[in-house]
């Protein structure tokens, strides 16, 4: 009798212990965050990715009650920072501000990628920075249709700069070549600090730049704006038409930014973070700060983010193949 009682009590204790353990295991998902969250930026401090991450992190800290600390881990075209997040614990306390390089392009550019770009848990799109096609005013054209007509009559004569081989700026040129049916030569630079002087001096004919550094040149009259690269006119420059609306349907490409987490991060954490991101992106104060960094808010569901990435992968591969880029 006593033995059966002890065995029963032991069984009850085991059940209670299991229930407590289960509750503790689920606590991080329901109570997250309980301590500071880290957002890894795979580019240098002061970059657009860094600025956007800091603005978003400050807003999320207010919304969720814990600090969101931004850590820059640049190198290897975003691969170093991306790999560090991929190896992190899937507990919601380490996030990556991903973009085209980290999540899409690197798989086609690097032979030995130290992480699996498909293994991230997607949280939310955050923003995008429209590219603007700039031209030297001394060129024999003033508009995009005039440029296309000149390029068709003079194949291989025009050049366009980008901020690096395989970047969104480069792919913007390849997309224009494909849709408009023109032959223009790519000249890669390390960024606007090199490309804009080359454009102003006439070393190159055009340059796909971010709106943040390109628009001041247009407003000053130093350079011409031939069109915006995204499918809708930018709120930052509503008078500049898109490339698509000027007769090149389907043209839509721009640097984008989105939060991702290590694979295996609990869905309740991802959902909670997605809701928080979308809430703060609706705040006029944050939208104004993003505009100062040349960015426009995006947001959306996790499913929409996944559909966007799924469509970007084959499209990017086609453009990279067209450019003749081989993995290094």
3-class state of residue 152 by DSSP: helix
Beta bridge partners of 194: none
Output the tens digit of pLDDT for each of the chain's 328 residues: 433 433 443 443 343 333 333 443 444 566 999 999 999 999 999 889 999 999 999 999 999 999 999 999 999 999 999 999 999 999 999 999 999 999 999 999 999 999 999 999 999 999 999 899 999 999 999 999 999 999 999 999 999 999 899 999 999 999 999 999 999 999 999 888 899 999 999 999 999 999 988 999 999 999 999 999 998 999 889 999 999 999 999 999 999 999 999 999 999 999 999 999 999 999 999 999 999 888 999 999 999 999 999 999 999 999 999 999 998 8
Task: Please give the Cα distance from 223 to 201 (Å, whole number).
Answer: 11
Task: Please give the Cα distance from 213 to 215 (Å, whole number).
Answer: 6
3-class state of residue 220 by DSSP: coil
One domain, residues 206 and 267: no
One domain, residues 94 and 169: no
State pTM to two decimals.
0.86
22's enclosing H/E stretch is helix 2-31
For residue 228, is it within any domain?
A: yes
For residue 328, is it within any domain?
A: no
Contact 127, 297 (CB under 8 A): yes
One domain, residues 79 and 181: no
**CA 40, chain centre distance (Å):** 13
Domain termination residue (choose one: 228, 246, 264): 246
Q: Order of strands across the sheet with 37-41?
A: 68-72, 37-41, 94-98, 256-261, 121-128, 296-297
For residue 148, is it within any domain?
A: yes
For residue 59, is it within any domain?
A: yes
One domain, residues 136 and 239: yes
For residue 26, is it within any domain?
A: no
What's the CATH number where 307 sits? 3.40.190.150
Domain termination residue (choose one: 209, 226, 246): 246
One domain, residues 310 and 266: yes
What's the CATH number where 169 sits? 3.40.190.10
Domain termination residue (choose one: 203, 220, 246): 246
82: domain range?
Answer: 35-128+255-323
Task: Please give the Cα distance from 265 to 66 (Å, whole number).
Answer: 18
For residue 11, is it within any domain?
A: no
One domain, residues 62 and 197: no
């Amino acid at each position: 009798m006593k033995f059966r009682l002890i065995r029963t009590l032991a069984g009850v204790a085991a059940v209670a212990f299991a229930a407590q353990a289960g509750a503790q295991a689920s606590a991080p998902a329901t109570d997250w965050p309980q301590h500071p969250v880290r957002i890894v930026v795979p580019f240098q401090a002061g970059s657009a990715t860094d600025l956007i991450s800091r603005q978003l992190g400050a807003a999320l800290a207010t919304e969720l009650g814990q600090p969101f600390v931004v850590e820059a881990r640049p190198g290897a075209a975003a691969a170093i920072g991306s790999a560090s997040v991929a190896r992190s614990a899937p507990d919601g306390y380490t996030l990556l501000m991903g973009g085209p390089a980290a999540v899409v392009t690197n798989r086609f550019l690097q032979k030995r990628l130290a992480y699996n770009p498909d293994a991230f848990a997607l949280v939310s799109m955050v923003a995008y920075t429209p590219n603007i096609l700039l031209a030297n005013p001394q060129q024999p054209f003033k508009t995009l249709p005039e440029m296309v007509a000149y390029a068709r009559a003079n194949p291989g004569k025009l050049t366009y700069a980008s901020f690096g081989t395989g970047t969104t700026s480069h792919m913007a040129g390849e997309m224009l070549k494909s849709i408009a049916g023109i032959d223009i030569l790519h000249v890669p630079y390390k960024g606007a600090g090199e490309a804009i002087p080359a454009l102003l001096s006439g070393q190159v004919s055009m340059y796909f730049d971010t709106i943040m550094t390109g628009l001041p040149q247009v407003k000053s009259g130093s350079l011409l704006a031939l069109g915006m690269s995204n499918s809708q006119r930018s709120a930052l420059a509503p008078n500049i038409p898109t490339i698509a609306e000027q007769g090149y349907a389907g043209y839509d490409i721009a640097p984008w930014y989105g939060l991702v987490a290590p694979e295996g991060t609990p869905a309740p954490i991802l959902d909670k973070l997605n809701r928080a991101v979308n809430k703060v992106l609706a705040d006029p104060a944050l939208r104004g700060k993003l505009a100062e960094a040349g960015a426009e808010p995006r947001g959306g569901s996790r499913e929409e983010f996944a559909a966007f990435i799924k469509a970007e992968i084959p499209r990017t591969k086609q453009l990279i193949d067209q450019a003749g880029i081989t993995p290094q």
